[in-house]
């Protein structure tokens, strides 16, 4: 394996780590209805955990309402159970064909709690980026120990690695700022 390959693989892993943080952010409720709040829920559909978005159409007719229309109406009970078990804090109502989720406005305290949750997610994302960096650095050092690359190439690789890490940590921090602003908006 060469320095280029290590750096390329590291960047791919970091992209996935940042994407994971973004996905987690999208599941945080901001007082505005969004299909991403529920589409990742796992429903026990005939004994098989299935994503809600695979069982129903999810629409947002207005800023405070999510409408879930299951393709199989027998799944309504299981969908409601999954929504109740999730930490969304929303009670579903159904008319036998549709499930409606009314998104109440967030209280100031709840907004502060959500900001703390987002900060925790961000820190977990940074930790995973640092773990990826450590693994890549160890791989570069191993290449130098095994006499595959000279010491200068190792140091250049480590410098390049740090630039990649800084770029992705900046992306996570920027996303944190945006999500925080979105949560605190009234």
Provide the pLDDT confidence category of residue 103 given band limits of 50, 70 and 90.
confident
Decide: pTM greater than 0.95: no
- Domains identified in the chain and CATH numbers: 3-26+107-184 (1.10.132.20), 35-102 (3.30.1360.40)
pLDDT in tens, 123-149: 999 999 999 999 999 999 999 999 999
pLDDT the model gives residue 39: 82
Residue 86 has pLDDT above 70, yes or no: yes
pLDDT in tens, 19-36: 999 988 887 767 677 888
Three-state secondary structure of 22-47: HHHHHCCCCCCCCHHHCCCCEEEECC
Rounded to an integer, what distance in angstroms lies between the CA atom of residue 15 and that of residue 33?
27
pLDDT the model gives residue 25: 85
Q: Write out the two tokens for 158.
A: 């480590």
pLDDT the model gives residue 186: 60
- Using a CB cutoff of 8 Å and minimum separation of 24, what contacts does 173-178 make? 173/122, 175/18, 175/21, 175/22, 175/25, 175/122, 176/118, 176/119, 176/122
pLDDT in tens, 44-85: 888 889 999 999 999 999 888 999 999 998 999 999 988 888
């Amino acid at each position: 394996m060469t320095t280029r390959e290590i750096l390329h693989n590291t960047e791919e892993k970091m992209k996935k780590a940042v994407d994971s943080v973004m996905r987690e952010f999208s599941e945080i409720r901001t007082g505005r209805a969004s299909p991403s709040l529920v589409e990742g829920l796992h429903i026990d559909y005939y004994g098989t955990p299935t994503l809600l978005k695979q069982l129903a159409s999810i629409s947002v007719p207005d800023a405070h309402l999510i409408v879930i229309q299951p393709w199989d109406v027998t799944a309504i009970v299981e969908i409601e159970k999954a929504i109740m078990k999730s930490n969304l804090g929303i009670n579903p109502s159904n008319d036998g064909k549709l499930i409606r989720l009314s998104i109440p406005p967030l209280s100031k305290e709840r907004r502060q709690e959500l900001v703390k949750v987002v900060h925790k997610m961000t820190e977990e994302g940074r930790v995973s980026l640092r773990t990826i960096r450590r693994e890549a650095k160890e791989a570069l050092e191993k290449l130098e120990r095994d006499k595959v690359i000279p010491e200068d190439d190792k140091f250049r690789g480590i410098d390049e690695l740090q630039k990649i890490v800084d770029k992705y940590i900046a992306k996570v921090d920027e996303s944190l700022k945006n999500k925080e602003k979105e949560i605190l908006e009234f």
